[in-house]
Amino acid sequence: MTMRSGFNMHHSNLQGFLSATVWDEKNGTSLSLLSALARLGLDPWREAARLADMPRTAAATALSSILSELPGNDLKSSDQALLSQRLVQFLPEGGSRLDTEQQDPVNRQGKDSRIQQLAIGIALSALVIAMQMNGWLF
């Protein structure tokens, strides 16, 4: 089942890549690529989009370099290269795709306008309720 765009991660075509398991931690939990990138202080979506826009071999090399910085990484460089090659297979073909809101500034303005209208409606409703409670309205 596909989630509505409001509930999807920033770049929905990067979900498979970012949710891929890097390895199992010593406590038995799986480390996702999203968590691994965040641990390194990187923006996972930006980094995934950057890697998706590269050729697969270059992306695997770059990812291997990134993963080598992870604390608790006990992998040999050859195993790390294989892991990176496996993980980049989850990247979307043809690069990353921005959300429609990021592609279409007019759509973004429309959303901002709806939020402003909602806020004004709530404020006016609160004002009417306060006036009724104080007997200023019938």
Residues 24-71 pLDDT 10s:
777 878 888 998 899 899 999 899 999 999 999 999 999 988 888 887
Burial class of residue 121 (count of CB atoms within 10 Å of its CB; 0-12, 13-18, 19+): exposed
Strand 30-32 relative to strand 21-24, pairing: antiparallel
Least confident of 12-21, 91-100, 101-110: 101-110
Residues 65-100 pLDDT 10s:
888 888 776 667 677 788 889 999 988 877 766 443
Write down the pLDDT at residue 58. Answer: 92
Helix axes 56-67, 77-88, angle to 10 degrees: 130
| 91: Cβ contacts below 8 Å, ≥ 6 apart | 14, 17, 48, 51, 52, 56, 59
